[in-house]
Amino acid sequence: MLKIVNVVGARPNFVKVAPLVEAMKRREREFTPLVVHTGQHYDPMMSYAFLRDLDLPQPDVCLEVGSASQAAQTAAIMQKFEPVVLSEKPDWVVVVGDVNSTLACALVAVKLGVKVAHVEAGLRSRDRTMPEEINRLLTDQIADLLFTPSKDADENLREEGIPEERIRLVGNIMIDSLFKHLELAKSSKIKEEVGVANTRYAVLTLHRPANVDERETFSAILEALAEIARCLPIIFPVHPRTRKTIEELGLGKRIESISGLRLIEPLGYLDFLGLFSAAKLVLTDSGGLQEETTALGIPCLTLRENTERPITVELGTNIVVGTDPQRITSAALAALEGSAAGGIPRPLLPLWDGHSAERIVEELAKTSG
């Protein structure tokens, strides 16, 4: 019997851990899965909504670390996670994604001699100013097993000198949750609630410090959104951090002046999936949404200068447009013109088939045998 500690630190981690825990529970004679929530990004209402939507039980351990600077938060996670590992004595610690909890918990486990598996390994933006890039690089160097979503991630790891025997191409774990919940999400009433049930619309997410902490950058993005909103409404579930910076930067009135930009509260997983899966266009600075829109064939504009998911750009579903208003506007109008018939052909990606969790669990069993 393998005891596996699965770490979640932020809401996107729930989407990746849920199918893993489910796959382990189907093999209950082989696996005992535990979920540790570090509380890196903790919102009681949102966490509960994600647990409910993804059929995840309450976490076995909640560390309640909370927000802090990069160094303080990483250190706090390590301090609180170490006693958990010492007490539970797991066979594996599974970390996902690229948040501070990913690196912090991997470091603790490795130093205690516990094997680490990194799900979503090998992604690279080549931008070391992003804290997430540092977390990805370091976690991949110390993890025992690296579960990758696509071949370009394998190539990145090989170039960094990672031994072949540590690399496993398993596909995209987020797509497991996407495909499982898509039909259920379509029954969500969110489109009616925000007034876009019978019209074309776009969806926006915006939360990265580089975009929302500087007034000049945020204002440039708003300039583009004002133009796009002349063509169709833009639904904007506002991250708590972004709402705070809107107030601090004094951008509230500017946003209110954009009649087609509709700010709403953050959504649970099913409501958000129901919303963006029917959109004609998605604008985002997040990572996972680039992959989800690719799987569904929805045009996506990434409001960053780079992406750690270049496969989405190669397939033509995602365009990296940065924060220049003209680039954003022209790309959006071109995408809308091309998606008038309801989207672009859904690309077929190897192993993005909804069964990545099963492959990961099988590899953990084989490697531990």
Residue numbers annotated as active site:
207
Nearest to 59 by CA among 92, 43, 37, 81: 37
Backbone angles phi, psi at 14, to 5 degrees: -60, -40
60 contacts 35 by C-beta, under 8 angstroms = yes
Report the alpha-carbon distance of residue 233 to residue 258 in Å, rounded: 10
SS3 266: coil
Report the alpha-carbon distance of residue 332 to residue 303 in Å, rounded: 11
DSSP state of 250: T
Q: How far is CA 249 from the centre of its chain?
A: 26
Nearest to 307 by CA among 333, 336, 284, 279: 284
Q: How far is CA 102 from CA 6, 90, 114, 133, in A?
A: 10, 16, 15, 12
Q: How far is CA 272 from CA 1, 203, 209, 364, in A?
A: 37, 10, 22, 32
